[in-house]
Structure 1
């Protein structure tokens, strides 16, 4: 399908960036759910829930970092890109990494 304003390559870059940001935004509900589950359990069950939460959050953070890094270093063919598209790429290129940094700083202040 042909995009109206942007080339297909830029359109695919845009959607991959949005997927990356949505993956990063999913960290907050997962962390809040794990915290609620950990606080509602008692005793030795907290050890198991805590281990599960650490495992899940570390894998989610690794995937989020990888997708943000992949969006940051994406290479596009500059000879086929207009000036408007180059401006959009410069703006979008660092958005996933900035949202990951903002989400991690928010989570650090909450715990």
Structure 2
């Protein structure tokens, strides 16, 4: 409908209303999927669609580090780093730093 309620209610500026055609355009790169624009639309002209793949955030900081390391160093990145640290600790006589 182009009333602009969705544009005003969007906290990240993902929705804009075209002045010529009077319809809402959503920038999917900015949209968080919070649904505030949907709940503020009096004519139910805007709706949310479920993404084809669901992203589940990591539950712990360790899981997040594992994901980052896997993307940075490959599947065995964390294992190789742990092995290198262990080898260096043994080589330099710093085995007291290793956890039992």
TM range (shorter): under 0.3
TM-score by length of 2: 0.27
| Higher Cα Rg, which structure | 2
TM-score, length-scaled by structure 1: 0.25
| Structure with greater helix percent | 1
